[in-house]
Structure 1
C-alpha cells in the first residue's frame, strides 16, 4: 500500500466520501490545522500545523518524507493548492509545480498565461479603481463581468449592464483579499461577457497528459450574480470524448504549465468554440466528485491520488447515468429559520442525499454582493435521463419542510 500525504480536508459533509475511499487504498498521513476528528478512521497518522501557513505545510511534509517513504502529496482544498505544490516540489514528488498552482490561483495570471499562448478566452483587464473599471467596460461594451482576482465560488462576481451597476458592484469585488498575489492593490478584473452554455470539466494530469474525468453542467440563479444553484453530470457525456474539447483543455493546461494533479476548468461553449472562464488547481466542489461516481463509477479522488503518486489513474466507466445536486434557498433576503427537515416519505426513489445546511435559530441571507452562502439545504439524485433527474431533484426539494420568518 502506497503512502500518501493529504493536505487539509475541508468540510466533512463535502469531502468525507473521498477521504474514505482514498483511505481504503492508501496509507494516508494528514497535514491539518487541528487534531484529526472525523478523519481518524481513514488515516494512518496526522501532523498538526497551527495556522496552516505555507512554511508550516512545506516543513511538515518535509519532516514526514524524512521519516518514511512517501509516494505522493495532494490536496483538494483551494486555500492549500499553492502550499501543496511547493511542498511536493521541495521533496521531489509529482505535482503541478508552484508556478502553475499560482497561475490557477490568480485569475489575472491565468489570463496572462493564456494570452501569451493564444488560447481562446474573453477579453479581460485588471483594474485598481472604479475609473479604470469604467474605461475597460467602455472598451468592451456592456454588459461586462466584474470579478475578484482571487475569489472562489463566484463570490462578488456580477454581470453589470451600465456604469451605475459597475460602480455598485466594484466595491464588493475589490474588498476580497488578494494579499498573497503580486500587485494586490489591483485586485478586480473587468471581462467581456460571453454567451453560450457554461460547463466545467474536472481533469487529472500525469506528466502533462490531460485526462478529462467528469463534465458538470451548472444551474445558475440570483442574477446579476452567478450563484450556482445546482449541478448535473452524465456518465457518458459526449464532451468527455470530444477531440475539440480535449485539445482545448490541453492548450489551457499547457499555457499555465500544469503538469501533474487535478483541475476544475470552467468554460463557455460559444459560437466560436470553447473559451476559458477560469481554471482551478483542484477538484470541483459542491459534491461534483460524488456525482461523478454516482453517474459513471469513476472516483475523481482516487484518480487524483494515483497521479499524485506518479501512477496512471483508473478511469474505467461502469455505468452511464445522470446525477445531480440542487440547493434550496430562503424566501426572504434575511430569513430566520425556526424548523427545517426533510420528510422521508416525500423523497422519490431516485433521491440520494437530502441534507439541511442550517438549523433552528439561524438567520440566513439570500445571495448578494458580499455573500454567496445563502443555501439552506441540498438534495442529490441519480436517474437514467436528464429529464428524469431534474424531476427527481424537484420532487426531493419539495420534501423539505421549513418554518421560517423574515428577520
Structure 2
C-alpha cells in the first residue's frame, strides 16, 4: 500500500514517525532535495523542481499523478505543507482532500470564526490591521491581551502585552515573525489572555469520529513569549477521559469540518473551563507524539497513516507510563557553539534520548531571537511517574555541557 508523504521535518524530531510508517507502508516521499537519512525508511522519492522547497501544490499534484503505483493516502505533519497535502489528496480523490478544512486550521482567524459560530469556548479574538486598531481592541477586551500571527505554529510570533506601551512595542514582533513556507499577513490577532495550565490533545479522526490519543501538559518559558520548553504526557492523566474536555474536542472538530486527519488541539484550562487556543490539522510537534507512543503504546505514525488512507486507526493503549521532553537553550544571544558534551555515564535509566541540536560553529540565541531554532539540545525520559521523569531530566541537564567559542 503506497502512502505519499510530503516533507519529513528534522531528523531529531520526526524520524521515529517515518521509521514506523515505512515498516508498514510503501512510502513515496515528495521532497525539496535528495533524501539522506530518509532513504532507510522509504520505497521511493520525487525531488521537486524548486531546490529546498515543497510548497508548490501544483507541482506536487503533478508529481503525485505521475506516479506509476496507485497512491492510497497523502500525509504531511509539517505545518507549512498541510494545505498542499490536502490539495494533493483532493487531486487524487483521497481522504483528507478538503483544502477548505485545512485552511480553517491553518488560518487562525478562520479557526476563530468557525468555533465562534458553533459556540465552542475560546478566548475573545479580533483581527486587526495596524497598531491603532490593536490598541482600540485591547481597550475593549481588557489587558493583558495576546498578539498572535494568523498562520504560524509552535507559538512563533505570539506575545503577551500588559499595557498600551507594550502593545505598540511588540506589535511588529507578532506581525513580522515568519518561517520558510509560511504566509505573510499584515493583519494580527488580538486575543483575550486565557489563564490556566496549557495542554494539547492529539487525535486521530476517521469518518468524522474523533479519537483522542493522549494529552500533553506544556511547560512554557521566556515570558512574555510563549516558548514551549518542555512537555509531559501521562497515560493516566485524568484529562484523557475528562467528559467536558472530550466534548469540546469533538465540538471543535465538528465546527471546523474535520473528517479524516490527525489533529493537535491546544487548550488553556481556565477557571471557567477549557478554552480552545488553536486546532492544527497535523500531528503535534516537539516530540509530543513520541512521548505519547512511549507512554501509551499507541503509535501516532501508524494512526496518521491509517486515517490518511481512509482506514480506522488503532488507538488501543497497551501501557500506562509517563513520557517527558525538555529543551536546552543557550544563555545569551549569538552564542557560537564549540561542542556539546554528554556524560552518558551520568544518565539514569529513565533517560531514553539526549540529542544535540546544534553543532560546532552554529550561532544560536534563546527566545525571542532564537525561538525553537535556538535550542541546542533535548532530552526525553520515560518512567512510571511524573516526578521520576522530572528527576531523570534534571540529571540529563546536569550531564550536558555546552561549550562556547
Residue of structure 2 equivalent to 1:56: 59
Residue of structure 2 equivalent to 1:265: 265
Change in Cα spacing, 1:344 to 1:313, as seen in structure 2 (3 Å) is same
Change in Cα spacing, 1:80 to 1:389, as seen in structure 2 (3 Å) is same
CA contact (8 A) 1:154 1:372 kept: no
Deviation per CA, 1:4-62: give whole Å up to 9, x if none. 11111111111111111111111111111112221112111112222321111122222
Residue of structure 1 equivalent to 2:387: 387
CA distance in 1, matches of 2:252, 2:175: 27
Residue of structure 2 equivalent to 1:248: 248
Change in Cα spacing, 1:348 to 1:178, as seen in structure 2 (3 Å) is closer
Change in Cα spacing, 1:370 to 1:20, as seen in structure 2 (3 Å) is closer
Change in Cα spacing, 1:186 to 1:114, as seen in structure 2 (3 Å) is farther
CA contact (8 A) 2:130 2:187 kept: no
Residue of structure 2 equivalent to 1:314: 314
Pairing of 1:283-322 with structure 2 (within 5 A)? 283-322=283-322
Deviation per CA, 1:127-174: give whole Å up to 9, x if none. 111001101110111110011111221112111110111111100111
Change in Cα spacing, 1:22 to 1:371, as seen in structure 2 (3 Å) is closer
Find out whether 1:8 has 2:11 as its counterpart: no
Change in Cα spacing, 1:180 to 1:318, as seen in structure 2 (3 Å) is closer
Residue of structure 2 equivalent to 1:36: 35
CA distance in 2, matches of 1:92, 1:304: 18
CA contact (8 A) 1:156 1:369 kept: no
Residue of structure 1 equivalent to 2:147: 146
CA distance in 1, matches of 2:179, 2:115: 21
Deviation of 1:185 (Å): 5.0
CA distance in 2, matches of 1:296, 1:267: 21
Deviation per CA, 1:315-357: give whole Å up to 9, x if none. 1111101001001111223323233211111111111111111
Secondary structure (helix, strand or coil) at the match of 2:168 reads: helix
Deviation of 1:269 (Å): 1.3
Secondary structure (helix, strand or coil) at the match of 1:39 reads: helix
Residue of structure 1 equivalent to 2:75: 74
Residue of structure 2 equivalent to 1:167: 168
Gap regions ≥5 residues in structure 2 = none
Deviation of 1:178 (Å): 10
CA distance in 2, matches of 1:235, 1:122: 28
CA contact (8 A) 2:333 2:369 kept: no
CA distance in 2, matches of 1:374, 1:326: 14
Deviation of 1:207 (Å): 1.2
Find out whether 1:85 has 2:90 as its counterpart: no
Pairing of 1:5-404 with structure 2 (within 5 A)? 5-51=4-50, 52=54, 53-64=56-67, 67-95=68-96, 97-176=98-177, 185-368=185-368, 371-404=371-404
4+ residue runs of structure 1 moved beyond 4 angstroms?
A: 177-182, 369-372
Which TM-score applies when normalising by structure 1?
Answer: 0.94
Gap regions ≥5 residues in structure 1 = none
CA contact (8 A) 1:149 1:178 kept: no
Secondary structure (helix, strand or coil) at the match of 2:88 reads: helix
CA distance in 1, matches of 2:194, 2:265: 16
CA contact (8 A) 1:106 1:181 kept: no
Deviation per CA, 1:356-390: give whole Å up to 9, x if none. 11123322211026744321111000111111111
CA contact (8 A) 1:128 1:185 kept: no
CA distance in 2, matches of 1:305, 1:389: 30
CA contact (8 A) 1:220 1:230 kept: yes
CA distance in 1, matches of 2:299, 2:115: 29
CA distance in 2, matches of 1:96, 1:196: 36
Change in Cα spacing, 1:324 to 1:123, as seen in structure 2 (3 Å) is same
CA contact (8 A) 2:227 2:371 kept: no
CA distance in 2, matches of 1:391, 1:379: 12
Which TM-score applies when normalising by structure 2?
Answer: 0.95
CA contact (8 A) 1:97 1:259 kept: no
Deviation per CA, 1:178-222: give whole Å up to 9, x if none. 99999x654211100011111000111011110101211101111
CA contact (8 A) 2:111 2:278 kept: yes
